[in-house]
A and B are shown apart, each in its own frame.
Chain A
Amino acid sequence: MASNGNRDTARERYETREYDVLIVGAGGAGLRAAVAATENGLSVGIVTKSLLGKAHTVMAEGGIAASLGNVDPADGWQTHFMDTMKSGKFINNWRTAEIFAKEAPDRVYELEQWGALFNRTPEGKISQRPFGAHTYRRLCHVGDRTGLELIRTMQEKVLATDAEVYMETTITKLLKSGDRVVGALAYTRENGKFIHFKAKAVVMATGGWGRIFKVTSNSWEGTGDGVVLAYDAGAELVDMEMMQFHPTGMVWPPGVRGLLVTEGVRGEGGLLRNSEGDRYMENYDPERMELSSRDVVARANYTEVQEGRGSPHGGVYLDITHLGYDGIMNKLPTMHEQFLKLADIDISKEPMEVFPTVHYTMGGIKTDPETGASNVPGLFAAGEVAGGLHGANRLGGNSLSDLLVFGRRAGEGASAYVKESVHSSDIAEGEVLTEIGRVLEPLKKQGEGESPYLMQQELQEAMMEHANLMRTGDSLKEGLGKVLGLKDRLANMKVQGSRLFNPGWHTAQDIRYLIQISEIIIRTALERTERRGAQWRLDFDGPDDELGRVNFIVKKDEQGEVGIQKREIPPMPEHLASLFEDKVVDMAGGEKRGAESQF
């Protein structure tokens, strides 16, 4: 057993494993990509930082959005497409959104085919619930544990294939040969052994980066590894300024601050009130009220508290008592348990206290809508780590269907790439050992050093203060200074203990990602000088039409610095643009689902 980092890395031994496709991440996106690649007859390795079945996907509660039209027959892909674009304030990639809306129903039925069980309608179909800014009742769900159903179904599907899963194993670098990504280096969390994965293609499915903020619904895993690994390998990122603040996180007790209260509560009729008892959504979006889009409700909740109409612990009230105990146990049993056990609140008798919490990252690796390919050959991406579908604001329920639609497409895209090209996955000598040396540094550091845990906290506090859901140029600049200061201190990090399951050492790896992403977010937020969706600049009055036609693309420049380019969004083709002109269009008519539908 290697006990600590004092050994000479030149003699460090590592294992080598070879696959056609390496999948980084075992959330819904990674698992769906794995199924696609194994169905293509390829060898597949899956790497995940935690145990199988524990990724963020398991925490999703509210549901998966797809225009099945089971309860509202008028629904169809066109409406789902339009809702997604409108909510994203039209900076989404329209082709991505089109594919998404057309294929989501197939992916839901496919889950059912693989054993997933959703709540039923009286007609024996999959039941669908309303959610914020979805025109129709569209979220397929099973109580408030839809993500569990999704990930367990996918996990059991994958266990029945030949794909090999490396649990509690962390990728630290993508390895390239020339322009191509041909593998990655990983260490095992259990004992700090290194593994060189050789692969003809890599699918990045590492999820989001909510951990850059202190108040977040994300677990320790949400450190955005994949987006930085891809950036370092030369990939373009898109819409990085767009972070979603979920309107309703728990506020009390402090240990659960930020924990998610599902939008399903509002979907099932939950009412928001301030300390004066007013249903204040009337002042922000009288038409959609509590079911307005997330950016609007989050700002409303925030504003009510700032203006002194908050609850004792600095939140607003969310009331679902009218559903009664039986209704709540039927539709929101997990929420009932969560509040009862953690906050001593019986939500069938009293309202909850809630406040916005960082939840989701709209931006990410820029991908080709058809294949999930990034601009770097051999590198594909899907799920929350990819950008483009959600634009400036994601609709609830759209993530779970995103994972499956584009997980599948990235798996297919990677498979086609592997089959088409003959290339070796060998890399330059010494590269593996250099990387191993870097990863071991915090364990080897002599003398005084800084704690990775405290550095992470410092960063989270800086981002809370300067890049929160209301932003100003001055404050962002101040935040940038703090983040760059932390970046300079990265080399000071020192951890105690050995390589044996050492969370301090693991945290020391994550910080590099958190700091790099924070820098990118602040820099792009400084560029987008307007109010659009999740990016809300207090020092500018409203949306800027010109900025509404561009995405900010980030790419590492020649000097290794954050390069930002303003890129024009191509105009929507006629068949999509016309949907928005013709208001009385029959959404159920015409092409109901994608041409490739097997269901």
Chain B
Amino acid sequence: MDSNSAEQKDMASKAHADVHADEKAAANGKTAKLRIFRGDSGGGELVDYELPLVEGMVVLDAVLYVQAHQAGDLAVRWNCKAAHCGSCSAEINGKPRLLCKTRIEEFDGGEIQVHPLKAFPVIKDLVSDISWNYQVSKGIKPFTSDEQAPFTMYEEDVERLYEPKKCIECFMCQDVCHVLRTHHKHAEFAGPRFFVRNQWLEMHPMDNQDRLHDLKEDNGLGLCNITKCCTEVCPVDIHITDNSIIPLKERVADEYYDPAKWLMRKIRGNRGSRNGAAARNGSRNGN
């Protein structure tokens, strides 16, 4: 066994060696420059960092390099590194972006400034306090069904639900929406992320709740003036304004500003509207 153990060892460790070879080949002697906000709720400033540029590097790679080699206490959130989890949202040159999906090369050597999301209170460096979003989420009526799974639902019944369900809760749409960012209406306005959630709930063929009242009264749907800024920043390409907000606005209008509906509601309470919504939702065929 001894005679080939050197060879075995070599084989066992070769993959390891390759990793380093790759890194060396990729580090082409160039450097990346980054200006990162360092500070906390009491204020802060942009600090300059310089590091070796590696081919294909994303801003998150650079931030983590700085953390490991230059500023051990630099605060940043991340998990998947693959644009799947929505943890690493921050503002790059003033625009909300996922750090793990933004390539350094994109800026062609130009300035890269990284700030935390600004519509929420900063905790430290690139981390802000987004817990408000989870409170809003808790206030939304969850999915509820009278039907018993397994449901019979066809692709055509559900295909428009796939889009809102892609949301990775990066909260960048919340960050960019002027109703929150500029007007600070956090108490009255749920924000685009939660219109997206309401959309699939309202359109799910098996759900039996009515959320139109909440959308109008508690979630401030009327405060949205369809600027589409949210849609522009969504990293998973949800057409928030066209496919979530406008259809919900139409339903609310139908429900509350249609005189016939208004009369029905007076007479029958909310039940009538619930059945109406179910009928509009299309097939209910799961028995």
Contacts A219-B79, A538-B8; A125 near B150 (Cβ below 8 A) = yes
Tell me the nearest residue of chain B to A157, going by C-beta. B142
Q: How far is the CA of A260 from the CA of B162 in the complex (A)?
A: 23
Counting CB contacts under 8 A, is A474 at the interface? yes
Which residues of chain B are within 8 angstroms of A356 by Cβ–Cβ distance?
15
Contact of B148 among A152, A215, A599 (CB under 8 A): A599
**Those of B78-103 within 8 Å (CB) of chain A:** 78-87, 101, 103
Most buried by A among B61, B79, B125: B79
**Those of A139-169 within 8 Å (CB) of chain B:** 142-143, 145, 148-149, 152, 156-157, 159-160, 165, 167
Contact of A254 among B40, B56, B149 (CB under 8 A): B56
Counting CB contacts under 8 A, is B107 at the interface? no
Which residues of chain B are within 8 angstroms of A142 by Cβ–Cβ distance?
162, 165
Which residues of chain B are within 8 angstroms of A110 by Cβ–Cβ distance?
149
Complex contact A115–B207 (CB within 8 A): yes
Counting CB contacts under 8 A, is B12 at the interface? yes
Q: How far is the CA of A465 from the CA of B58 in the complex (A)?
A: 27
Chain A: minimal CB distance from B111 (Å): 21
Contacts A468-B15, A495-B72; A500 near B23 (Cβ below 8 A) = no
Which residues of chain A are within 8 angstroms of B137 by Cβ–Cβ distance?
156, 159
Tell me the nearest residue of chain A to B57, going by C-beta. A255
Q: How far is the CA of A585 from the CA of B99 in the complex (A)?
A: 53
Complex contact A253–B26 (CB within 8 A): yes
Q: How far is the CA of A163 from the CA of B153 in the complex (A)?
A: 32
Stretch at the interface among B126-134, B176-184, B221-229, B249-257: B126-134
Number of interface residues of A (CB under 8 A): 93
Counting CB contacts under 8 A, is B230 at the interface? no
Interface string of B1-43 (1 = CB under 8 A from A): 1000100110111111011011100100000000000001000
Complex contact A472–B8 (CB within 8 A): yes
Which residues of chain B are within 8 angstroms of A254 by Cβ–Cβ distance?
22-23, 26, 54-56
Contact of B143 among A115, A221, A496, A505 (CB under 8 A): A115
Complex contact A472–B162 (CB within 8 A): no
Interface string of A301-312 (1 = CB under 8 A from B): 010011000000
Stretch at the interface among A334-342, A396-404, A481-489: A334-342
Complex contact A253–B55 (CB within 8 A): yes
Chain B: minimal CB distance from A4 (Å): 11
Contact of B138 among A159, A219, A302 (CB under 8 A): A159
Contact of B11 among A306, A343, A501 (CB under 8 A): A306
Complex contact B1–A539 (CB within 8 A): yes
Which residues of chain A are within 8 angstroms of B72 by Cβ–Cβ distance?
451-453, 495-497, 502-504
Complex contact B73–A465 (CB within 8 A): no
Tell me the nearest residue of chain B to A456, going by C-beta. B68
Residues on B facing A (Cβ under 8 Å): 1, 5, 8-9, 11-16, 18-19, 21-23, 26, 40, 54-58, 61, 67-69, 72-87, 101, 103, 123-125, 127, 129-131, 134, 137-138, 142-143, 145, 148-155, 157-158, 161-162, 165-169, 200-201, 204, 207, 285
Q: List 22 A-B contacts (CB under 8 A).
A: A51-B77, A58-B168, A59-B84, A59-B85, A115-B145, A124-B152, A124-B153, A124-B154, A159-B134, A214-B19, A219-B85, A220-B78, A253-B55, A254-B54, A255-B81, A342-B103, A451-B68, A453-B69, A475-B9, A500-B40, A502-B75, A599-B148
**In the complex, given contacts A167-B134, A302-B15, A474-B5, what are 11 additional A-B residue pairs having Cβ atoms less than 8 angstroms apart?**
A51-B77, A51-B134, A114-B142, A117-B158, A117-B165, A126-B150, A148-B165, A341-B103, A342-B56, A342-B101, A472-B9
